[in-house]
Every structure is written in structure tokens, then in C-alpha cells.
Amino acid sequence: MTTNDDSQGNATERSVIGRRSYLNAIGSAAALGVVGAGSAAADDGTDFAVIEVPAGSTHTIQLGDDDTLENTLIDISASGAQYQISAAGSGWTIRNVGVRGVWDGNDKAEPLTATVPDENGTAHIENLYLGDGAYDDTYPGATGIYVANNHAGTLEIDRVNIQGFPDNAIYGSSPGDTDAHSSGRGGGGVVRITNSYAADCRAGGFRVGSDGSSVENCVAVGCDRNVWGFYNSTDVIDCDFSNGRIGDIGTGDGVWQADATVTVTNSRFETTVEHSGRVVGQSAGTPRRTEPSDVEGVPLTATDAASSDSLTAADDSATDSSTVADDSSDTSLTAANDVSTVSNSSPVAVDQQCLVDETTTSRSLWDLFRF
């Protein structure tokens, strides 16, 4: 995993770190005075990293195979401060991460982009807070989570809180793109969204569009379409949707005219909009849940997310062998001209070193994901 800060195109901080060493590296960097890095502790003693992005800067984090970004708070409260998290590969995890501060950019942007190109691969995003939203709700603008066109595996998104984004809370339909799309046919990967909350997002709240994708035990309020089955056959299970500006459940669109089907089970909603395709199933009654606190486990603040000690089921059995190494591990830090490199060569803490040069780090996301 790589992380750096760019200010007006110039790197002010660059770290090259390995799997599960991010929190340890941030702590070491803060102790040595590296700008923009720090650490904090929640009331229960849980440690988490704090990245305060300077005004006019973008903090960039890239994850590859088996990388984990966890227990991190990204503060973009400063004017023009932004972040870019790009996850591409198999086995990666974004967990217990909160963004504090309102996104104040007006341009189209995908601050968190995710893909699993291997059809047999999986990845996880869980316990994520993006609830501070954006100042400008003009479509198209920033997206909460964007799932790239080439996604072919399985992405599990659980316990996220996303509010106030102008270009979908979760834009997960691109893997279902047709041959006619400018990006070409999508990879067809599955996107499963569970136990999550979305509110006041333009275009869509939970937007999916590949066979096998689903939205389960989620709540969405006040989005243009609270859930949007854009292509193919998708499922909605045990959800509550209300006050959709265009419709609580949407299917297809007016451009691609895909024969999209959303099958609804035990869910409560008020309205539907069938641009193309159809909604299968009826509302189970008046929506009961409208607040993020109504969904168990959803983080209510950035600190709430970053300070959590939750793990995925897959990681529970691996905790002992993959935790960050203690102070005796071989950790080094060098700094020159405001550029820092943090590395950890302990085989216990770091399964895989992700070493990339500056060209790769600053490579255009449009080239990486073919939006």
C-alpha cells in the first residue's frame, strides 16, 4: 500500500508501506515529526491514525493485493483538502475508516475507487463513515464509493454511512456496463451492500447493476433514487427506503434502456420509477427506519468508524498472525526534502511490500480504471 500527499501536483509526503503496517507506520512518522500524520485514542483505548490533509492538498492511498487500510481518520476540514483512495486487486480490505470534513470540490470526482479484477477474488469495505458529504450537490460531482468497470470478482460493502454526495452514495453499476458503453463491457463482478445507510445523494443511493449484486438490511432516505438497479438482475432484501426524490426504487435508465430487474423481498418503500425494466415485488408496509442509528453497526461519526475494533469474519481467525509488529520489528524512516519513506520488513507484520515509483503513485486514475 502506498500513501502520499500532493499539493498543487508536488509530493509533500510519500510513504511506502506493507500490509497491515499502516497504523504502526503513521505512529512512527508522527513521532518523528512528519507533516500530516498523527495518532489518537478513543475513549475505550483503541488506537487509530489521524491524517490531517493540508489546505489545497490531496492525500492519496493506493491498495493492492492483500493490503489493509484500517483504523484511520482522514481529516479534510481545511479548505480544498481532499483524499483519493484507490483499491485494486484481491484480498484487500478497507476497514474502520472515517472521513471528517465536507468535500468542497465542485468537479466530478471518485475519491474512493474499488475493483477486484480477478473473477475469483474478493475484497471488503466495512465500517466506513462518509457522512459529512459535499457542499455542492450539483450532479455530477463527487461519488461516495465508485466500483470500477473492470470489477469481476466479489466486493462486500458492509456498515457504511454515506450522505450528501452529488453523484451516488455507492456507484456500483459499472461492472454491468454493456458493450455499447464508452468503457466497454463491464467485468460483471458482484457488489453486495449490507447493513448500510445513505441519505440525500443525487442520482442514486445504493446503485448496482450486475447479476448477483444485492442490497440487504439497508436504509436510504432522500436520494434521487434510494436504490437503483441500473442493469441486469439485482436483489433488495429487508430494507427501508423513503422520500426518494424521483423514486425509492429505480430500474434501468433512459439512455441504455437495459432490461433491468430489481426483485424486492420484505422491504418497505413508497414509490418506484421504472426507466426501463421492472420492479418485482411489493412494499411490505410503511418504512420503519430513517436514521443511521436505526441500522445496527453503522458508524455515526468519523471518529466512531476509525476507533472501532471490528474485523471481518475472514480476518477473525488470522488476527494473531497478521497484527502489526511490536517495537522490536525492523522499522526504518528516512526524511529528506519533505519526502519520507516508511518501511517495515518484519515477515510477521508485512506479508507483501508494495514498492512503486513516483510515476506509478501519481498515475492517472482514468488510466488505471478506464472510467
pLDDT of res. 360: 30
Global pTM value: 0.79
Query: ∠210-216-220 over CA atoms, to 5°?
Result: 95
- Residues linked to residue 113 through DSSP beta bridges, in sequence order: 86, 146
Find out whether 311 and 11 touch, Cβ atoms under 8 Å: no
pLDDT of res. 255: 87
Q: Phi first, then psi: give them for residue 37, nearest 5 degrees.
A: -120, 145
Q: How far is CA 8 from CA 5, 39, 56, 369, in A?
A: 10, 26, 7, 23
- Work out the burial of residue 9: count CB atoms within 10 Å of its CB; fewer than 13 is exposed, 13-18 middle, 19 or more buried: exposed
Q: Phi first, then psi: give them for residue 125, nearest 5 degrees.
A: -125, 120
Query: What pLDDT tens digit does each residue of the chain (371 aa) get?
Result: 877 765 433 222 222 233 343 444 344 333 323 345 566 666 555 689 999 999 999 999 999 999 999 999 999 999 999 999 999 999 999 999 999 999 998 899 999 999 999 999 999 999 999 999 999 888 889 999 999 999 999 999 999 999 999 999 999 999 999 998 999 999 999 999 999 999 999 999 999 999 999 999 999 999 999 999 999 999 999 999 999 999 999 999 988 888 899 999 999 999 999 999 999 999 999 999 999 999 999 999 999 999 998 765 445 434 333 333 333 333 222 222 222 222 222 222 222 223 222 223 222 333 333 32
pLDDT of res. 254: 83
Grid cell 478497507 in the structure block, residue: 94
pLDDT of res. 34: 34
pLDDT of res. 136: 81
What span, in angstroms and rounded, lies between the C-alpha atoms of 63 and 45? 27
pLDDT of res. 113: 98
pLDDT of res. 311: 67
